[in-house]
């Protein structure tokens, strides 16, 4: 298992999840999700998920990218598990 990365309370990280694993992330919330994808992977790979990871009230969660999905709902269960495994 990779070392966990700490997300401070109330902060957001931009993340990409592929095959049940967080593959890319940044705390640079000055980037849009589209620019983050462009800079890290060029074009979001088929089947990959992009959004934000956050910690509120001690709980980690993943939220869909509005740019890519048209909503900011919680990400799918496998993405939630990936966030909990990668971050603390």
Distance CA 31, CA 6 (A): 20
Residue 2 has pLDDT above 90, yes or no: no
Band (76; pLDDT cuts 50, 70, 90): very high
The confidence score (pLDDT) of residue 3 equals: 85
pLDDT in tens, 4-49: 999 999 999 999 999 999 999 999 989 999 999 999 999 999 999 9
3-state secondary structure of 64: strand
Give CA–CA dist 14/24, Å, rounded: 8
pLDDT at position 67 over 60:
yes
């Amino acid at each position: 298992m990779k070392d966990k990365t700490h997300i401070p309370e109330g902060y957001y990280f931009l993340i990409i999840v592929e095959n049940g694993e967080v593959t890319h992330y940044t705390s640079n919330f000055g980037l849009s999700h589209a620019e983050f994808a462009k800079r890290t992977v060029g074009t979001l790979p088929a089947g990959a998920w992009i959004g934000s990871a956050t910690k509120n009230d001690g709980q980690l969660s993943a939220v869909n990218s509005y740019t890519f999905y048209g909503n900011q709902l919680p990400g799918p269960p496998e993405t939630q598990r990936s966030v909990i495994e990668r971050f603390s």
